[in-house]
Amino acid sequence: MKPAPFEHLAAPSADEAVAALARGGPDAKVLAGGQSLVPMLALRLARPTLLVDINPARELDYVREDAGAVAIGATARQRAVERWAATRLPLLAEALRWVGHAPIRNRGTAVGSIVHGDPASELPALLLCLDGAVIASGPRGRRQIAARDLYLGPLYTSLDAAELAVEARLTLPPAGAGWGFAEVARRHGDFALAGAAALLALDGDGRVSLARLAMFGVGPTPVRAAAAEAALIGHAPDAARIAEAARAGAAALEPDGDIHASADYRRRAAAVLAERVLTAAAGRCRRAA
């Protein structure tokens, strides 16, 4: 199929993109890498009358460390973020390796993936795991939306239709923190049937002082497994404690079944993946001095 007719506007700056979104109203949409939007247009699952193309806005093309976070501009490609993260934030680099294939990551933006909000997507889960936020710019100015307030349902976020996500910020882990990432997909590059990302840090006695576990593909939005995190804080992350935490985290999930996997399969996979990523994270931790 071909897309329904639309007007294309090349926005040379973030401000001009925001002004165009305001003029276009609810029928305007941002075009970033187009790796999700263009297929949706072609299938007529989305029928915007105005596409506000932010690719000409060079000011939005950056990945940099800023005040204890990695700041990612709206047009930074997933591959650029992957390259930046390879030496500085391996958890993010590993997660990106699972996003589609290299040609998709060469074009797709990290911010586009974060605000598209596919529940089986890697980057929204990373935003949760790394206590991140999105900076939104709209007709009433700029605001910061914390990851925990962003995801409301499948492909549904608290970003207003008139807002442009100008930047995503992911908090850098403390020194010595360990990480783990794993997912199950039918083929490499497919969206995950279930996935997990973990971050752990230890105090000087070898007890967990920071625990974050984010799960994806197992519900309408990515989630932080609060029960698993609570089960770990203050304890040595030995195999029994990790198994108990993973069970607690998976028990709170309410995945749906579909043609790819049943709800029961997803819940079981989530428990196994949670245990794996927590074990990997514990193995990579260094005790605080």
Ligand X SMILES: Cc1cc2nc3c(=O)[nH]c(=O)nc-3n(C[C@H](O)[C@H](O)[C@H](O)COP(=O)(O)OP(=O)(O)OC[C@H]3O[C@@H](n4cnc5c(N)ncnc54)[C@H](O)[C@@H]3O)c2cc1C
Distance CA 245, CA 237 (A): 10
Smaller CB distance to ligand X: residue 122 or 229? 122
DSSP states of 96-150: HHTSS-HHHHHHSBHHHHHHHT-TT-HHHHHHHHTT-EEEEEETTEEEEEEHHHH
Among 84, 91, 116, 151, binds ligand X (CB under 6 A): 116
Strand partners, 179: 199
Lookup: tokens for 91: 């958890």
Residue 109 burial (CB count, 10 A): 30
Distance CA 174, CA 180 (A): 15
Among 31, 80, 133, 218, binds ligand X (CB under 6 A): 31
Among 11, 74, 126, 198, binds ligand X (CB under 6 A): 74
Among 165, 228, 273, 285, binds ligand X (CB under 6 A): 165
Helix or strand run (H / E) with residue 182: strand 178-184
Contact flag: residue 112 with ligand X (CB under 6 A): yes
Contact flag: residue 172 with ligand X (CB under 6 A): no
Size of the site for ligand X (CB under 6 A): 29
Residue 224 burial (CB count, 10 A): 18
Among 9, 11, 20, 37, binds ligand X (CB under 6 A): 37
Stretch that binds ligand X, among 24-32, 170-178, 203-211, 265-273 (CB under 6 A): 24-32
Contact flag: residue 215 with ligand X (CB under 6 A): no
Distance CA 228, CA 57 (A): 42
Among 69, 94, 121, 248, binds ligand X (CB under 6 A): 121
Among 3, 12, 34, 220, binds ligand X (CB under 6 A): 34
Chain positions contacting ligand X, by CB under 6 A: 29-37, 74, 99-100, 104, 108-109, 111-113, 115-116, 118, 121-123, 159, 164-165, 189, 191
